[in-house]
Structure 1
Amino acid sequence: MIKKLLLFLVATTSISFAQDADIFKPDSIKKVIEATQITSSLRIDGVMNDAEWRKIKPTSGFIQIEPFQGKNPTQNTEVRVLYNKQYLYFGIFARDSLGKKSIRATDFKRDFNVRQHDMIALSFDGFNDKRNSMALVTNPYGVQRDLLSFDDLYYDTDWDGLWRVRTTRTDSGWVAEMAIPWQTLRYPKTTEAIQNWGFNVFRSRRMTNEQTAFSPYPRSFSNLRMTYAGILKNLQPPPPSPNVRIQPYFLTSYDNYKGGVSPKPSDTNYKLGGELKWAINPNAVLDLTTNTDFAQADADRQVNNVTRFSVFFPERRQFFLENASLFGVGVGPNFDMSGGTMRVQPFFSRRIGLDDAGNPIPIDAGGRFVYRSLKRNYGAILMRQRGVGDTPATNFFVGRFSENFGKQNRIGGLLTVKNRPDGSNIVATIDGFFRLSQAHSLNTMAVYSTSTNGRKQGFSGFAQYYYTNNQFKIWWTESVVTKNFNPEMGFVSRSDVVGTTPGFFWYNRGNWLPFKKYIRAFEPGIMTELYHQASTGKLIESQININPVWFNFQNGGFLGYLVNPTFQSLTEPFEPLGVTIPVGNYNYVRHQIYASTDPSKIINLTVDYNWGSYFDGKLIGNDFKLQFAPIPHISIVGRYNRNHFKSVGDFSKNKTVNLYAIEGRFAINPRVQLISFFQKNSENNSQNYNIRLSWEYQPLSYIYFVYNHRGFDNIQQPNMQRITQTEDHVIAKISYLKQF
């Protein structure tokens, strides 16, 4: 099958070269948007009826990125820019011939899913270094999304900036008015009276899945590739000065425990703490926290894992999410699964303040300092975790330095120290990123771990090459993790392994494609995964993931078929979901269908159905997700995951494990929302639910009411008695943000 697929790709490649496959160079003559200074203040209501807006001429002339790179848009976008001593104002009119009928938005979640919403995105390069950018994004209902980007490679997607937006929807399109405090933006201190910044505006119209930008860039990149940005001209911002943001909180909670051998007593607690953010200068930021609390953070979703890789749960706590990209060096799968599934991350913030089961451990105090500039970036994190039960008080330190050189190259180092009374775990990392051209890049890392308490030393490293243009994405990743590698503040998906994971995707939009009204692209590919045991050199796993069929539809949906010939050599028993598979060599083939309807529709469905042989038996699995969003104020998502084992492992076991989940989001507006989540897992009879009422009563100041319930069966040794345990937590919290 592989040979046939390769022959097919070679035979049809010449067809696709007629497409806009080239990565064109940034234009030497930049497109310009001019800002106009005013002395008055504007009312931000999404109407743009202030006299100041009418006095300036709008800028338009956007260019298509999708689906026809370089062509004129089907719907025009107009941008106006004003500023005074306090704010930078944007007035944007996203014209639409269908008016309100065209608008798509499925919920009011901050940092919303961009595949589901119409949106406008502003990206700023205040230092004109063509590497770093700040993005502020909104949808037609004024929901906010913001992030920081570095080299269009690392992203702080959960950074929350202080800015305001209001929108209105009309019969001729939708309007967004934004007021951005100068203190939120980052720009240099200079003697020049006038500043010009790198800048771009991006628009997505979800009904036709059309994407346009003020300054065009190749469609395989994003609007955060600032080498392609235009210019925001004629700015006279006030000189940047140190500004301080404080956010104290008060919390009260009630905890109740039932079941178990010796359940904890019920308890009522009160807690006072908070955070301070000091922007010392445009390059340096200091964050301090005391009695750190994450009661409002999203609860983890359970996962039933049938692979030999450890599950990676993402960080959800706000303090650790900000500037995470500076400290988050490592290797792992991309959003499209390119690069391979091996994950090595020397620093993983969930190792602080959480135990292995995800339960919180109190943090007494901590701080983070970050410095970013055109030449170099560095930072440090220092945290003190309280001693609880058998876990002693622990100190955590992370230090990071990276030096930029050339246009977009970087070398750096990372050091982590976890200090407990019984010793310290130390991990040292050297890493580098080299953008060899707009299409070619190389990412490398070498990591060394040791402990002062007599544990052995270990090593890990990787080298990852990418070639990306409008026609191909090709990668080759080599990784190694020795048996004794032990990053106690990091994450490793597998140990004692050498991974080789080459692959490619082919992006084809040739005229030969059938049903062009519905199909936008044909994107087959091959993802190869080979793993040898590092200590013996023995092949322990190989998997060839072939997707001969992958269609991306014009409406944003997709349909793919994958076949995965797999070899597994178990050197010790493997127990997925309680099914024991003995030591031995296994060859099997699995199949998968992965599909999605238009994700922006009122009802949308995602399907992951897989079947085939599995070790010495069979496994049929499915993961269905259905969303119902009749209006953006109401979004209900149901999910059903099922794994059915047939004649697998010891005693040819048959077993079915079901995981059910339902999540509801009910919003009066983007600032008042009720979010609920329920999950039931038949593997351990667990039933968890979380209900959270959130009111943002002023920008980034919140009142929360949270109820958490956790119930599960606990098997007690040695008589294997099954005991049901429950935990209930009720939390009320108020936080207040003040920026000086």
Structure 2
Amino acid sequence: MITKSAIALILLTFLTSAWSQTSKTLQDQYQLHIVRTGEAIRIDGRLDEQPWQQAESAENFWMSFPVDDERAPADIQTEVYFTYDDQYLYVGAICYGPDDYVIKSLKRDNLGFWEGDAFSILLDPVNERTNAFSFAINPANVQSDALVNGTTMRRGTGNFSGINDAWDNKWFSAVQTDTDRWTVEMAIPFRILRYKSNQTVWGLNFARGEPRSNSWHTWSPVPVQFISMDLGYTGTLIWDQPPPAVKTNISVIPYLSASSQNNPELGEPTSTGFSAGVDAKVAVTSSLNLDLTVNPDFSQVEVDQQVTNLTTFDVLFPERRLFFLENSDLFSDFGIPPMRPFFSRRIGLDEEGNTIPIQYGLRLSGNINKDLRIGLMNMQTKGFNDQPGNNYTSLALHRQMFKRSVIRGYFHNRQGTSEQSLRFDDYNRTAGLEFNFVTQDGSTRAFGGYGKSFSDHVSDRNNSFYNIGGGYDNRTISVYSNLAGVGDNYYADLGFIPTQEHYDAIKDTTYHLGFNHLFTRASYTYYPEKDGKIISHTWYFNHMRDWTSRASELIQNSFRINYNINWRNTSMFLVEMTQQLNQLLYPFNFADEPLPSGKYHYLTLGATYVTDQRKLFSALLGVSTGGFYNGKRNQYQLTLSYRKQPWGKFDLNFEQNNLRFPEDYGEVNLLLIGPRVEINFSNNLSWTTFLQYNTQDDNFNINSRFQWRYQPMSDIYLVYTDNYAVEYWGPKNRAVVLKVNYWLNL
């Protein structure tokens, strides 16, 4: 009889063997040696200085997508060179290929950057496959940079949670274009990197996007199921001597702003005001950073892109404020989507997305050593609209285990404050531990976590949160499952757990209930022949079930099956079928009268087609039809996009949901229309206007933003925001803000 110990030993042996077969082999095979230069290098996009002629080259890239079988060589080639001096890491690259480039925008870190021609480098200074820096450029010298963590990101799932492109820093680049190539020069200051000066072996990879063939190429091969930035498949950068130690790294970013606001809806007169504040970045050590902010201003941040909410729960809107986005994975990756113990929008924003003034904040983040990461954040908000201020503290520790696995813990505290002191009878605290196991090749993962909350005037019973799950990915098969549970008395004032809150439309009351959540996903992807028009066929199956933790009453149960076909010309077609069983625990209103509590069973069918995204004109068309509770729903979606390369992008998003219920409950037609215009006068000067017409929220919003980057990382913003009621077409509120900031390195 096989004992539990024997089973554990067999499993451990299997997993250990999985670790040993990937990255060590790749890091032995793919090595680039870097040699110090004593000659000055001018960043002009021409590799004509002597150090480039003497530098070792990385070439012979491999295709990573759409095929990776037999390590297919890239259909266009790339050469990369490295050198350095006391201040900068220099990168030179020659990207061969025709000059009919695809450039979606001249805006830094723009959403369409990776859909066009692009070259990027991935630097892992600690070489532990848990965190890295990405620096990317396109033929128009548009920069994009990001922090990348060790999260396994499967291609095609839309999961890019491991990439944080909100991280912005000052580095230099230049590009020269010719008929058969484009040439890149980069100068990356050592001061913006986090590394130990005695570390002479760094993780390294390069990626090249080639939209004409809809392909991605990498220097060190990355399997087709993972995105090109996966940290499990890096080669190595080998230094001839330890890189220079960074002595001083302090950046100060002061700002001034002037604003004018008007609120006709509340009958308030026009008001004007001036504001000033400062951010600072201090390198405590070469791998540990302290960020400070005093009276921060986020008026330049774009408004949320509105959605039509057809659920009975809140919708998660992403964080857009830069201070909270940098190193956000340290705090926000706990739990499982959409259940997160920490959600930074709980700080400085109310439930409607309105600003609550922040007085000051600090964040300490980075590596204590190669295996231990720390995140410590403290923020203080002012009292606002008769609500008291709050002090928020978050602590997160990540301890690397094995190669890509981590054990981590968190503590979050919201403490009410008065003008003079803390209010000890007004608090909410959450704490927990999690373990995330990932094999070195990223194919197998398992995770589990347990946490508790503590609140004033709330029982300490049934106040826990747990999650457990795992998954497996290979070239064609992906499976994933998780189980989670939340107690009735678990409260996360700094988190986002929407399924806990149930609204009673008749009593106008919200009930807080514990629940259990089960989610399972499986997919199979088939890749046809290399040179065919079709890249892949994928079949997906999803199952989700939620039920209350005490009475085990069903909340929702859904089965979804879809088929997805992707063409080499970047077009896509999707068909799906969803079988849904929802139980309203309390009456809920979608139209005229609230639907009664009870079970509702219905089926929906849908299809989506996306045209060639490389074309100057592209479109998305979607339609779905079927039941909706005790009624019917028809949904129509249309997105039109026209690109005047490279300076202009014009989008129109349209969504209509027609909900028809039995006569007693009414009918409603929900419209969401969002035109967007982006004009780039140069790489440093842009104007963006975004309109949103939303009948569900009874709001028409205008958000127009002019941005001039007059110095590296220093900007002037002029922002106009206006809101109107759709129903009676009257003004709600409007504001004009002028803001200037300046990035100063000390």
TM-score by length of 2: 0.89
Check the 8 A contact 1:35/1:232 in 2, yes or no: yes
What is the letter of the counterpart of residue 162 of structure 1?
K
Q: In the alignment, what sits opposite 2:66? A: 67
Per-residue deviation, 1:149: 1.8
Q: In the alignment, what sits opposite 2:144? A: 145
Q: In the alignment, what sits opposite 1:6? A: none
Give yes or no for the alignment of 1:417 onto 2:413. yes
What is the letter of the counterpart of residue 698 of structure 2?
N
Q: 1:309 to 1:389 in 2, by over 3 A?
A: closer
**Pairing partner for 2:681 from 654, 664, 668:** 668
Q: 1:504 to 1:664 in 2, by over 3 A?
A: same
In 2, the alpha carbon distance for the partners of 1:602 and 1:723 equals 35
In 2, the alpha carbon distance for the partners of 1:481 and 1:608 equals 35
Per-residue deviation, 1:114: 4.8
Percent identity among equivalent residues? Answer: 25
Check the 8 A contact 2:591/2:665 in 1, yes or no: no
Which SS does the other structure have where 2:269 is aligned? coil
Q: In the alignment, what sits opposite 2:342? A: 347
Per-residue deviation, 1:55: 4.8
Q: In the alignment, what sits opposite 1:388? A: 384
Q: How does 1:564-575 map to 2 (within 5 A)?
A: 564-575=578-589
In 2, the alpha carbon distance for the partners of 1:25 and 1:696 equals 43
Give yes or no for the alignment of 1:707 onto 2:713. no
Per-residue CA deviations over 1:482-531 (Å, capped at 9, x if unaligned) read 333221111012113211111201111145x9xx7321111011001112
Per-residue deviation, 1:538: 2.2
Q: In the alignment, what sits opposite 1:230? A: 235
Check the 8 A contact 2:261/2:736 in 1, yes or no: yes
Q: How does 1:713-724 map to 2 (within 5 A)?
A: 724=730
Q: In the alignment, what sits opposite 1:163? A: 171
Q: How does 1:349-388 map to 2 (within 5 A)?
A: 349-372=344-367, 373-388=369-384
Q: In the alignment, what sits opposite 2:38? A: 39
Which SS does the other structure have where 2:268 is aligned? coil
Check the 8 A contact 2:56/2:82 in 1, yes or no: no
Q: In the alignment, what sits opposite 2:644? A: 630
Q: In the alignment, what sits opposite 2:429? A: 426
**Pairing partner for 1:404 from 388, 400, 404:** 400
Q: In the alignment, what sits opposite 2:703? A: 690
Q: In the alignment, what sits opposite 2:85? A: 84
Q: In the alignment, what sits opposite 1:277? A: 281
In 1, the alpha carbon distance for the partners of 2:590 and 2:533 equals 40
Per-residue deviation, 1:218: 1.4
Check the 8 A contact 2:107/2:684 in 1, yes or no: no
In 1, the alpha carbon distance for the partners of 2:56 and 2:373 equals 40
Q: 1:578 to 1:159 in 2, by over 3 A?
A: farther
What is the letter of the counterpart of residue 62 of structure 2?
I
In 2, the alpha carbon distance for the partners of 1:319 and 1:577 equals 39
What is the letter of the counterpart of residue 443 of structure 1?
F
Question: Unmatched 5+ residue regions in structure 1?
Answer: 1-21, 334-342, 715-721
What is the letter of the counterpart of residue 710 of structure 2?
Y
Structure 1 stretch 110-119 or stretch 347-356: which is displaced more? 110-119
Q: How does 1:148-227 map to 2 (within 5 A)?
A: 148-153=147-152, 154-190=162-198, 195-227=200-232
Per-residue deviation, 1:235: 4.9
Q: 1:633 to 1:362 in 2, by over 3 A?
A: same
What is the letter of the counterpart of residue 358 of structure 2?
I
* Corresponding residue pairs, total: 690
Check the 8 A contact 1:478/1:500 in 2, yes or no: yes
**Pairing partner for 1:598 from 608, 612, 626:** 612
In 1, the alpha carbon distance for the partners of 2:644 and 2:349 equals 37
In 2, the alpha carbon distance for the partners of 1:371 and 1:231 equals 22
Q: 1:371 to 1:60 in 2, by over 3 A?
A: closer
Check the 8 A contact 2:36/2:83 in 1, yes or no: yes
Q: How does 1:182-581 map to 2 (within 5 A)?
A: 182-190=190-198, 195-236=200-241, 237-260=243-266, 263-333=267-337, 343-372=338-367, 373-420=369-416, 421=423, 423-436=426-439, 438=441, 439-454=443-458, 458-495=463-500, 496-511=514-529, 517-547=532-562, 549-576=563-590, 580-581=594-595
Per-residue deviation, 1:423: 0.6
Q: In the alignment, what sits opposite 1:11? A: none
Which SS does the other structure have where 2:318 is aligned? coil
Per-residue deviation, 1:577: 6.2
Structure 1 stretch 632-641 or stretch 407-416: which is displaced more? 407-416
Per-residue deviation, 1:329: 2.4
Per-residue CA deviations over 1:209-243 (Å, capped at 9, x if unaligned) read 11111111212223333342112233543213341
What is the letter of the counterpart of residue 103 of structure 2?
A
Q: In the alignment, what sits opposite 2:735? A: 729
What is the letter of the counterpart of residue 168 of structure 2?
D
In 2, the alpha carbon distance for the partners of 1:710 and 1:378 equals 41
Check the 8 A contact 2:404/2:440 in 1, yes or no: no
Give yes or no for the alignment of 1:136 onto 2:135. yes
In 1, the alpha carbon distance for the partners of 2:103 and 2:593 equals 42
Check the 8 A contact 1:448/1:485 in 2, yes or no: yes
Check the 8 A contact 2:128/2:404 in 1, yes or no: no
Per-residue deviation, 1:656: 0.7
Per-residue CA deviations over 1:684-727 (Å, capped at 9, x if unaligned) read 4311111111111121111111111122269xxxxxxx794421
In 1, the alpha carbon distance for the partners of 2:635 and 2:497 equals 26
RMSD: 2.2
Check the 8 A contact 2:413/2:430 in 1, yes or no: yes
Structure 1 stretch 594-603 or stretch 408-417: which is displaced more? 594-603
Check the 8 A contact 1:44/1:166 in 2, yes or no: yes
**Pairing partner for 2:691 from 668, 671, 678:** 678
Check the 8 A contact 2:20/2:440 in 1, yes or no: no
Per-residue deviation, 1:331: 4.2
In 1, the alpha carbon distance for the partners of 2:391 and 2:726 equals 33
Per-residue deviation, 1:181: 0.7
In 1, the alpha carbon distance for the partners of 2:393 and 2:591 equals 36
Check the 8 A contact 1:558/1:597 in 2, yes or no: yes
What is the letter of the counterpart of residue 186 of structure 1?
R
Per-residue deviation, 1:245: 0.9
In 1, the alpha carbon distance for the partners of 2:482 and 2:151 equals 20
Check the 8 A contact 1:385/1:394 in 2, yes or no: yes
What is the letter of the counterpart of residue 293 of structure 1?
D
In 1, the alpha carbon distance for the partners of 2:723 and 2:52 equals 53
Check the 8 A contact 1:151/1:408 in 2, yes or no: yes
Q: 1:574 to 1:450 in 2, by over 3 A?
A: same
Q: 1:81 to 1:309 in 2, by over 3 A?
A: same
Check the 8 A contact 2:591/2:667 in 1, yes or no: no
Check the 8 A contact 2:131/2:147 in 1, yes or no: yes
Q: In the alignment, what sits opposite 1:30? A: 29
What is the letter of the counterpart of residue 619 of structure 2?
L
Check the 8 A contact 1:241/1:280 in 2, yes or no: no
In 2, the alpha carbon distance for the partners of 1:579 and 1:111 equals 45
In 2, the alpha carbon distance for the partners of 1:180 and 1:533 equals 53
What is the letter of the counterpart of residue 560 of structure 1?
L
